[in-house]
Amino acid sequence: MFKQPAKFPDDLDPIGVYVHIPFCKTRCNYCGFVSYESDAVLENRYIDSLTREIQGLGSSRLLLNSSFPRRVDSIYFGGGTPSVLDPDIFAKLVCSVSEILIPTNQLEITIEVNPGTYGKNELAVLRHTGITRLSIGAQSLNDSELHKMGRSHSSLDFTKLYSDSRSVGFENISVDLLAGYPGQTLESLEKSLQGIIELEPEHISVYLLEIKTGSKLERDFRNGRLTPLDDDVLADMYEAICSRIQESGFQQYEISNFSKKGRESVHNKKYWTDKIFLGLGLAAHGMTGRARYSNIVDLEKYLEITNHERSAIDSLMVMDALSRFKDAMIMGLRLVDGVDLELMGRYYGFDAYSFVKECLQDLESAGLYEIEKKVIKLTPRGRLLSNIVFSNLL
Ligand code: SF4
């Protein structure tokens, strides 16, 4: 039986801040995120509430704790579709965050932008505001696929957004692609990917379709209106994407993420490298070192509670050293570089190598992971079947 980790790591690194904007123009068929149809009145109320939540953090016990790290090196506006909002709003939100946390010189500020929302003027405002990185939700460059997905944009909207973003000076752009949607073929996926690669973004994220409870897609599968792609086809797609992107000068650094040298997402790496991050806004999640928390999911409840200047946190799970260690292992294994078990063991004060050997012994012959010089990494097949490895570590 393995020994419990003896301690929490001291983590004084700068933290990340995630801000959720839960509004979209329309709802995509596969969507499982917390998002509401865009509505100007509701959005204004939401921004007021969000601002109050951020300001309230300044006097929260968490930040008053003298050992809690105060510096911030990433702010990420995700959704939903943040780009349904007036672009001036983001400057105000960044200002509010900067009043309670100290921005480092290298602050990365990312905003998710969907095609068909912002034009050149709005993008120029964002650039002027100090937003350093855009994450563009292309998903496909095939209009028939976009239609089936229920996306509200065309491939032309995407290329226009991309070129407008470059023309106003954005030098760090990530593009999202969705793989495995019913009707998609390996050929059509490769064509979309090729179109994205030719634009030369700094970063590409490729997500394999997940069937989210409550989505239209889930109902369509249940009622037999649509059939999911075969697992072997999905595996072929994943392998083809990984090779094609890497041949084009990107390095794969995480299961779904590829970047040009030095252009990994500072923000997302917080999640995978056991760092502290705060989640603000409806349904946002945070990790404070000793606890994980999630915010209220119901919009009206969120608006009401923040109006009364009460905490938006809905559930909080205090973590012992073992659960934090397991989280760190699972998240760390998402990285292509894997986890250095010796460092991890030193960090947490126990034998990480024995822990892993014991938990993963049943998978030893399946070729899902390898351990070399006490560094454990998922193999390409293991990245595809990562959930099997992760469930053994729980
Ligand atoms: S844009 Fe994203 S968050 Fe909005 S409906 Fe589509 S999948 Fe959901």
190 class by beta-carbon count within 10 Å (0-12 exposed, 13-18 middle, 19+ buried): middle
Task: Based on the fold, state whether residues 338 and 198 are members of the same structural domain.
Answer: no
Alpha carbon nearest to ligand 1 atom 2, residue? 80
Q: Which atom of ligand 1 is nearest to the CA of 26?
A: 5
Task: Based on the fold, state whether residues 230 and 112 are members of the same structural domain.
Answer: yes
Alpha carbon nearest to ligand 1 atom 3, residue? 80
CB environment 164-188: b (16+ within 10 A), e (fewer): bbbebebebbbbbbbbbbbebeeeb
Residue 81 lies in a domain: yes
Residue 178 lies in a domain: yes
**Last residue of one domain, picked from the residues 248, 271, 294:** 271
Residue 211 lies in a domain: yes
- How confident is the model at residue 1, as a pLDDT? 59
Task: Based on the fold, state whether residues 60 and 204 are members of the same structural domain.
Answer: yes
Task: Based on the fold, state whether residues 63 and 205 are members of the same structural domain.
Answer: yes
Collect all residues with Cβ–Cβ distance below 8 Å to 317 and sequence separation of at least 6.
Answer: 291, 292, 293
Alpha carbon nearest to ligand 1 atom 5, residue? 27
Task: Based on the fold, state whether residues 23 and 113 are members of the same structural domain.
Answer: yes
- How confident is the model at residue 84, as a pLDDT? 97
Alpha carbon nearest to ligand 1 atom 8, residue? 31
Quote the ligand 1 centre to 79 CA distance (angstroms).
Answer: 7
Alpha carbon nearest to ligand 1 atom 6, residue? 28
Around ligand 1, the residues with Cβ closer than 6 Å are: 24, 27-28, 31, 33, 35, 79-81, 114
Q: Which atom of ligand 1 is nearest to the CA of 80?
A: 3
- How confident is the model at residue 82, as a pLDDT? 98
Q: Which atom of ligand 1 is nearest to the CA of 35?
A: 3
Domain around 350: 320-394
pLDDT under 70: residue ranges of the chain? 1-2
Alpha carbon nearest to ligand 1 atom 4, residue? 80
Quote the ligand 1 centre to 352 CA distance (angstroms).
Answer: 39
Where residue 377 sits, what CATH number does that domain have?
1.10.10.920
Quote the ligand 1 centre to 342 CA distance (angstroms).
Answer: 40
Alpha carbon nearest to ligand 1 atom 7, residue? 31
Q: Which atom of ligand 1 is nearest to the CA of 30?
A: 7
For the chain, the domain total comes to 2
Mutational pocket test of ligand 1: of 20, 21, 24, the residue with most ligand atoms within 8 Å of the beta carbon: 24
Residue 377 lies in a domain: yes
Task: Based on the fold, state whether residues 108 and 176 are members of the same structural domain.
Answer: yes
Task: Based on the fold, state whether residues 109 and 252 are members of the same structural domain.
Answer: yes
